[in-house]
Amino acid sequence: MEPMRLRELAVQLDAELIGDGEVVITGAAGLEHAGAGDITFVARPALAGRLAGSPAAAVIVGPHQAPDRPALRVADPYRAFASLLARLATPLDRLFPPGVHPTAVVDRGAALGDGVSVGPHAVVGPGCRLGDRVRLGAHVVLEADVAIGESSVLYPHVVVRERCRLGQRVVLHPGCVIGADGFGYLPGPAGLEKIPQIGIVVVEDDVELGAGTCVDRATTGATVIGAGTKLDNLVQVGHNVRIGRHSVFSAQTGISGSCEIGDGVSMGGQVGLADHIKVGDGVKVGAKSGLHKDVPDGGVVFGYPALDAAESMRIAAALRRLPDLVRKVAQLERALASRPPEKEA
């Protein structure tokens, strides 16, 4: 970042300045990694003790915290730090220079909005419609009749297949594949016969999909990712799945075909869903859980197979005692075997 005085940063973050405002800030980092010249943050008072050993030049703190160095006081230190990081990020114009790169291939039947960026060796197929300020990285491929809303960003090697639709401000990280064929086959006399997948994928506004994530097109109709939902890297979304708004799934989660997932759902890493499952609004699913049945609104589940989280924890605790229980049972069996047989009355 360009060097900046702490008092200038206080204005930008609408923060209360504490101490020397002339301190020069040259970078930003978390508490464990901050060096001289960096500004860091303390999200919770319980972490304040770790600040003493940090060489950071300044710190962002919350209300009622007493920092040991120049500081900015705000209501929410983590949110303020995130806002600062956004200011330090590489400008999109640096990553996606406006205009069409000479090596890109844009079909004459495609429609490009104002301020669109099309990177090296990208391909925009016939009938595609790109809104204003859409940015396509190197080697992005849009097949025929794809529609993308304004201010969306597709990083290198993203593929969007025919007729799929992306909303506004969608972010697809490198290697995403939108609209590959759903996994549908029908056993026949000659083996597995492919079921044509003629549906599409609809990705609504403000969705962000991590690197390597795949969203399959519907057999018919649409696979839908609801507005504001965020998927981590390497998430698989099967055909005809419908995911609600503002849900969040961690890496390597796999969702089988025709599942219905509500709003505000969160799933940990490597969660797996069998097909045709309904997951209600606000459900929380622990990492590595396997869902084989519906989960009602507000449920908290964990384990394989997934159960109510509290019950699953009790089972896990009981399993840890299993070796001792087996030994005790063996001791009882030996004791019973060594007893003389009882005489009949």
Burial of 295 (0-12, 13-18, 19+ CB in 10 A): buried
Residue 344's pLDDT is 67
Residue 49's pLDDT is 79
The SS3 assignment for 199 reads: coil
Among the listed residues 274, 277, 279, 276, the one whose alpha carbon sits nearest the alpha carbon of residue 301:
279
- Answer whether 51's CB lies under 8 Å from 43's CB: no
Q: Where are the alpha helices (DSSP H) in 67-120?
A: 77-88, 92-95
Instruction: In whole angstroms, give the CA distance from residue 184 to residue 257.
Output: 9
Residue 345's pLDDT is 59
- Segments of the chain with pLDDT less than 70: 343-345
The SS3 assignment for 213 reads: coil
- Which one of the listed residues 33, 173, 239, 292 is annotated catalytic? 239
Instruction: In whole angstroms, give the CA distance from residue 98 to residue 48.
Output: 44
H/E segment holding residue 308: strand 307-308
| Encoded tokens for 172 | 């697809």
Residue 321's pLDDT is 85
Residue 52's pLDDT is 84
User: What are the structural domains, with CATH classification, of the chain?
Assistant: 4-89 (3.40.1390.10), 99-309 (2.160.10.10)
Residue 335's pLDDT is 85
104-145 residue pLDDT tens: 999 999 999 999 999 999 999 999 999 999 999 999 999 999
Mention every residue, 6+ apart, whose C-beta is less than 8 A from residue 170. Answer: 148, 149, 152, 153, 203, 205, 206, 207, 208, 209
Mention every residue, 6+ apart, whose C-beta is less than 8 A from residue 46. Answer: none
Residue 305's pLDDT is 83
Instruction: In whole angstroms, give the CA distance from residue 266 to residue 279.
Output: 10
Mention every residue, 6+ apart, whose C-beta is less than 8 A from residue 1. Answer: 25, 26, 27, 28, 87, 88
- Angle formed at CA 231 by CA 224 and CA 153, multiple of 5 degrees: 80
- Answer whether 134's CB lies under 8 Å from 118's CB: no
The reply to whether 239 belongs to the active site is yes
Across 33-108, the runs of DSSP E, i.e. the strands, are 38-41, 58-61, 71-73, 99-100, 105-106
Instruction: In whole angstroms, give the CA distance from residue 245 to residue 252.
Output: 20
